[in-house]
Amino acid sequence: MTMAARSGPATCAGPDEAAVYAALDRVIDPELDESLLKLEFIDGVHIEGDCVTVGLRLPTFWCAPNFAYMMARDTRDRLLEVAGVHRARVTLKDHFASDEITAGVTEGRPFEEVFPGDAEGNLDGLRQLFRRKAFTMRQERFVRLLLDAGLSSEEVVGLRLGDVDFVDNGDDLLLEISGARRLLPGGAALARVYLARRQELGLDCEASTPLVTDSRGSPVPAADLVDSLRGARRQRVSMEFNTSLCRGLLTTRYGASGPERSTDHPASTRTC
C-alpha cells in the first residue's frame, strides 16, 4: 500500500483498508461463484477520505454487459456497507461498454435503464438462476466430502441443519449423527460456503430442516442421492472449467501476477 507522506501523529480519516478488502472479498462472480478478489478481477483500490474507487477488469473485451453490470453494482453496494464509506465508484476497464456501465453503476441506475434494448434487462431472474447453480455445485462438493468420510446415503439425508457445528470457528466440522458427535477435520470451509448459498437462495434455514435438499427446498431421498450427485457433478465440472478458462484469458490479457502483487490485496493507494 502506498501512503501519502504526512508528519506528526495524524491518522488517515475514512474507512479501514482491511474492511474494504473484506467487503470486496464478498463480491462474487455470479457465473463462477468465486470472489472477484480471488479471480483477480479487482485492479486497484484508492481510498480518499470517505470515498473508495475500485478498478474492475474482466477476462475479455466482450464479456456480457449484464454480468459485468451485476459485478460492478455488487462491488459498489458492498463498499457502501463499509463503515466510513459514503461514496463508492467502480471503474470498469477495457470493456466495450466501460463508459455506460461505470456511469450507470456510479449513478445507481438499474441495468434495464442503462441498456433498454437488452433481452436480459431484469437482472433479478438471472441472479436467481446463478444462485441455484452455485447452490447445486457447493452442495455436491459438501455431500461428496460426507460420503468420502464414510457416511452412508441414509446418514447424509438424515442430517438436519442443526446437526452441523463448527469447532471454535476453525477448519474442523462437527456432525451430530444418531446421537453421537463426529469430527470431520478440514470440513468447515465447504460447509460454510454451502450453508451460505442455501441462505442466499432463500431456502429454509431452521435447525430442523434437512441438510440436503434440492434447489427448491424439497428433501432428497437416500435412494436418489447418487443420481442427484451425478447431475450436480456435471454442473460443478462446467463451472470449474469456466473458472479455469476465465483465469487463463485474464492472464493472457493482463499477464500473470508477480510476487509483488497479492491476489488478496491488489495495488492500493490512500490519500488522507
pLDDT, position 154: 97
pLDDT, position 258: 43
Cα 175 from Cα 166, distance rounded (Å): 9
Predicted TM-score (pTM) of this structure: 0.87
Cβ proximity of 207 and 162 under 8 Å: yes
pLDDT, position 263: 44
pLDDT, position 266: 64
Low-confidence ranges of the chain (pLDDT < 70): 1-13, 119-121, 257-268, 272
Q: Which residues pair with 56 in a beta bridge?
A: 42, 92
Q: Please give the grid coordinates belonging to residue 229.
A: 450427485
pLDDT, position 14: 80
CB atoms inside a 10 Å sphere around CB 224: 13
Cα 224 from Cα 205, distance rounded (Å): 22
pLDDT, position 24: 97
CA 186 to chain centre: 20
pLDDT, position 267: 61
